[in-house]
Amino acid sequence: MRKVRATLSRLSLVLFCTSVLLHAAPDPAWTTPIAPFRIADNLYYVGSQDLASYLVVTAQGNILINANLATSPPQIRASVEKLGFRWNDIRILLNSQAHFDHMAGAAEVVRETHGKNMVMDGDVNVVETGARKDFLSPSPNIHLYTPVHVDRVLRDGDTVSLGDVTLTAHKTAGHTRGCTTWTMRSHLPGEPEGTTRNIVIVGGVGFWSEFHFVATPSHPVSYPGIVQDFQHTFVALQGLPCDVFLGAHGGYFDMLTKLKHYQQDGPHVFSDPAGYRAFVADAQQTFEQALRKQQAAAVR
């Protein structure tokens, strides 16, 4: 029964935009602080209860993944400093996707840290226009934010290296045109020296009612190739080796539930390859059902 509940929870969060972007006020879990914690030797969680932000620590400076809301940088900074790291040691800013809940704080982070902003192609013009060129814009569900310059345009399979750490950018588009899933290998505290694990940070797989996968006389597809992008995303995610399952939202990987066992089990609570496979399978099924529904409606 516990597994069923967890699967249903993940499935509901696949379409998180349906339940949160359509509301005027952000989900309280997006802004409620949570104590930062260690995931791997060089990887820490510094986000809120649901908006995930990660600090990758190296001897040559640090990498931040996700600046989150425009109001999030002070919370992220407090978490970074609570862990004993310096905010100004952030050299690179990465992101999961160009929506405001992951990118609106980027301008402030870059201004304060002078970190290099690196964004996947497909999301670059969205980031540099503050979401004005999002494929759904103008829309009440696409919140605008302060534009921020992109220092490096990433392509699918590109790597980002700093010190002795390398992350790989996987273009998992559909949710946004440049949605990015990040992978890295790292040692988990308590495991034998020399053992490393595959860490996957899922960028996003959801959609909501404004996403059009099938053209009709009343509207075109959301963007040319959106169906193929989603299909490619599920193939790519299925092909990634995953030991440690993370994501752009804590809800993707059932973070709050797992944290209840953190004190006893430590970072191993995030070792969840089965949960990762279930999440991807649920997301794919949800997409395919929506696609079939739109296809059926288009031929009536």
The burial of 156, by beta-carbon neighbours within 10 Å (0-12 exposed, 13-18 middle, 19 or more buried), is given as middle
Percent of the chain with pLDDT strictly greater than 90: 87
pLDDT at res. 24: 46
Domain, as residue range, for 132: 2-298
Radius of gyration of the chain (CA): 18
Q: Alpha carbon of 253 to those of 119, 141, 276, 294: distances in Å?
A: 23, 24, 7, 29
Q: CATH no. for residue 222? A: 3.60.15.10
Span 138-181, pLDDT tens digits: 998 899 999 999 999 999 999 999 999 999 999 999 999 999 99
pLDDT at 20 over 80: no
User: Directed axis angle between helix 273-298 and helix 2-14, to 10°?
Assistant: 50
Average pLDDT estimate for 66-84: 98
Given a contact cutoff of 8 angstroms between Cβ atoms, the answer to whether 87 and 73 are in contact is: no
pLDDT band, residue 4 (cuts 50/70/90) = very low
Domains of the chain: total? 1
pLDDT at res. 15: 44
pLDDT at res. 122: 97
Percent of the chain with pLDDT strictly greater than 70: 91
pLDDT at res. 18: 37
Average pLDDT estimate for 55-74: 98
Span 96-125, pLDDT tens digits: 999 999 999 999 999 999 999 999 999 999
Q: Kindly write down the DSSP assignment for every residue of the chain, as one continuous string.
A: -HHHHHHHHHHHHHTHHHHHTTSSSPPHHHH-B---EEEETTEEE-SBSSB--EEEEETTEEEEE---STT-HHHHHHHHHHTT--GGGEEEEE-S-SSHHHHTTHHHHHHHH-PEEEEETTTHHHHHTTTTT-TT-S-TTS--------SEEE-TT-EEEETTEEEEEEE--SSSTT-EEEEEEEPPTTSPTT--EEEEEE------TT---S-BTTB--SSTTHHHHHHHHHHHHHHS--SEEEESBGGGGTHHHHHTTHHHHGGGGGB-HHHHHHHHHHHHHHHHHHHHHHHHHHT-
